[in-house]
Structure 1
Amino acid sequence: MDEGCPLAPSPGQMKALPILLLLLLTDPWGPLGTCGGPRSPPGLLYPYGAEAGDEATPHEDDGMSPEIILWETFSFYGHPYRSVYVNNNGVLSFGIGVPEFTPQAFPLAGARPLVAPYWADVDTRLGGDVFYRQSRDPRLLARLGRDLAAVTVGQAPSPTWALVATWDRVSYFGAASDKVNTFQAVLATDGAASFVIFNYGDLQWTTGISNQGDPHSGLGGIAAQAGFDSGPGGRSFTLPGSRSPAVLSLGRRSNAGTPGRWIFRVDRAPTTPGPTEPHRGHGGTEERVYVCG
C-alpha cells in the first residue's frame, strides 16, 4: 500500500478565506445566524445526536474525529479494518483521516480506502454537526436487521455491531445562505458479512466556493461525490448523479425500495441489493438501482 497521502490538498488547492465569509462570520443577523432548514423525514435516519449517545467532531473546516478503534473488525473489499475516521467533508476513511475538500472521481489511484455518503466541502463552523457512535444496542441492531432483511435474498444477516455517522444540517464552505444538508452513513457487520447503509435526508447544496460553487445557491462547480473506494485493488462504486447537479436526487432515489436509502454489501465485491432499474457501476460490475419517483 502506498504510504503517502494522495488525498491531502496540494499548496495550489489551499483555501482562501474571502472577505465575504469574514463579514458573514461576524454578522449575527446574517444567513449564518439562521442555520436550519427542514429536518430529515421521520423514520428514515437511525437515531443520532447527544440523546443517542453520539460524540461530535470539532466545529472546524476540513476537520475530523480522532481515530476510532472499532469494537469489531470491519471487512471492506476483502481487507479487514480495525479503525476509522469520521471526516467532516462527508467521508468515512479507514486507517487515516481525509481532510481533502475537493471530491475526486472514483476509482482513486493509490488512495486510501473510504466510504463517501456525500463527499463535499462541509464547514461546520457555519452550521450543523457531525455525530458518530459505535453501538451494540439491541434495538438499533434489530432495526438494522429488519432493513437488511428487506433486501437480502436467502438468510438475513443479524448485525452484532454498527457505527453510525450523521451529518446533521451541515453548511458548506463560503456559504452566504442557510442551505444545509442532512445525511447518514452506517457500517454494520454480523462478524462475516459487512454492509454500508446511506440515508439521505434533506439535501440542499452540492458545492463549496473553493470548488467553484456559488456562495448563495451552494450549486455549480465540482459537485459532491457519493460511493466508496477500496484503496488497494482499485475497486470502487459511484452512486448515480455524483459530481453533477443530479447528486441532489439521492434523497429521492434508492436501491432498497425506500426513497433516500441505499444499502450495499461490501465485505467482498460491491453489491447493491434491491430490484429493478439497471445501472452500470464503476469497476465493470452490473449494479441494480431502484428509482423512487
Structure 2
Amino acid sequence: MKVPPVLFLLLLGLTEQWGPLGTSGTPVGPLGVVLYPFGPGVGDEPTPHEDDGTSPEIFLWENFSFFGSGHHSCYVNNNGVVSFGTRVPEFTPQPFPLPGHRPFVAPYWADVDTRLGGDVWYRQSRDPELLERLAQDLAPTVPPGDPPPRPTWALVATWDRVAYFGAASDRVNTFQAVLASDGVTCFVLLNYGDLQWTTGIANMGDPHTGLGGIPAQAGFNSGDDVHYYNVPGSRTPTVQTLGHRSNLGVPGRWAFRVDHFEATEGPLEMPSRTSRTPSVPPESRRTTAERVYNCGL
C-alpha cells in the first residue's frame, strides 16, 4: 500500500539531494531523436491521468507472436509496461523472469504518476511512412542473408514527460515502446528520450531527486520462465543512462526480434566503459540483444 505523498513529505521533512547522479545533469549527445511521432496529431489515444492507471484492452489488428505465444490484445500501463492478457498496476519493478504467466514488455517499469505531470499515449498504425522507417531501423536486428524486416503493423506507446509518484520536483521521463509485426515476424523496440528520474517514493526514492531506492526495470518477460531479457543496468542507478546506450549502436534505441530468441538474459550490471560487450557465459550464443554499446558516455 502506498503512503500518500503529502504525508510522506511531512514525515520526511527537508532532504538533501543524493544518489550517484545527484541532479539531472547535462545529457551527452542528442536525446529523443529515436522516438517515433506521438500525440493527438498522429491519432494517439491517452490513458487516464491517474496513479497506477492503464489503457482499456487494446484489440490488435495483427497477431503478435511473443516467444511462440500469439497475442491479440494488450494493455498500455502507466507504470511503463505494455502487457498481454492482464493489466500491470504494480509499481515496484522486479527482475525477469517473473513467476507465473505474465508476458509483458517493459521500456521503463517504475512508479509513474501522471496526476503530477505527463501523458501516456498509444496507437496502432499502418501508416506507410512509419512502417518504412521501422523497416530501416529494424534492419540491423536480422543476420546477414536473412530477409529484411517489412512490418505491416505497429503499436506505438509513448510515456511523454511523465512524473513519479510522490514527486517534489519537476523531473520527468520520456520513453517509448513499439511493437511491430508482418503477421509472422515480430519485433520490439525500446526508445529513450530524456530520463531524469528512476524511482518513486513508494519504492524508497528521494522525493526531490527521483533517485535511490529500487530503480526502474527495463526489458521483457515472456511468461514462460525461459525467454526474458533484463536490459543491462536495470534496477540500478545506471538505468537512467538508457538514452545513451544501445544494442544497435544507436543512442537510446534497443531492438529485439521476439517471435523467437536464442539468448535469455543480459547482465544487470553496467558494462565497463572500456568494453563494448557485457560479459556472458562462454557457452552462450551471442545475439543482437547481448551487444551493448555505450554511446558517448
Pair 260,208 (structure 1): closer, same or farther in 2 beyond 3 Å: same
Runs of 4+ in 1 over 3 A off after TM superposition: 20-23, 40-43, 278-281
User: Is contact 1:141–1:158 with CA below 8 Å preserved after alignment?
Assistant: yes
Within 2, Cα distance between the matches of 1:250 and 1:148? Answer: 18
The equivalent residue for 1:71 is 61
Calculate the TM-score normalised by the size of structure 2: 0.83
Pair 149,234 (structure 1): closer, same or farther in 2 beyond 3 Å: closer
The equivalent residue for 2:15 is none
The equivalent residue for 2:271 is none
SS state at 1:80 partner: strand
Q: Does 1:291 align with 2:294?
A: yes
Deviations 1:220-243 (A, max 9, x none): 001000000011344211001100
Within 2, Cα distance between the matches of 1:44 and 1:196? Answer: 14
Instruction: Extract unaligned runs of 5+ from structure 1.
Output: 1-13, 24-36
SS state at 1:280 partner: coil
SS state at 1:247 partner: helix
The equivalent residue for 1:105 is 95
User: Is contact 1:127–1:170 with CA below 8 Å preserved after alignment?
Assistant: yes
Q: Does 1:83 align with 2:73?
A: yes
- State the identity %: 67
User: Is contact 2:31–2:252 with CA below 8 Å preserved after alignment?
Assistant: no
Deviations 1:194-252 (A, max 9, x none): 10001000000000000000000000001000000011344211001100100011110
Deviations 1:114-140 (A, max 9, x none): 100000000000000000000000010
SS state at 1:165 partner: strand
Residue 277 of structure 1, CA deviation: 1.8
Pair 271,209 (structure 1): closer, same or farther in 2 beyond 3 Å: same
Residue 271 of structure 1, CA deviation: 5.9
- How many residues of Structure 1 are paired with residues of Structure 2 in the alignment? 261
SS state at 1:214 partner: coil
Calculate the TM-score normalised by the size of structure 1: 0.84
Pair 162,270 (structure 1): closer, same or farther in 2 beyond 3 Å: farther
RMSD across aligned positions (CA): 2.1
The equivalent residue for 1:10 is none
The equivalent residue for 1:277 is 277
Match of 2:124 among 113, 122, 134: 134
Instruction: Extract unaligned runs of 5+ from structure 2.
Output: 11-25, 265-275
Residue 278 of structure 1, CA deviation: 3.9
The equivalent residue for 2:6 is 19
User: Is contact 1:207–1:219 with CA below 8 Å preserved after alignment?
Assistant: yes
Pair 234,110 (structure 1): closer, same or farther in 2 beyond 3 Å: farther
Deviations 1:133-154 (A, max 9, x none): 0000001000000111144323
User: Is contact 1:223–1:244 with CA below 8 Å preserved after alignment?
Assistant: yes
Alignment-mate amino acid for residue 280 of structure 2: R
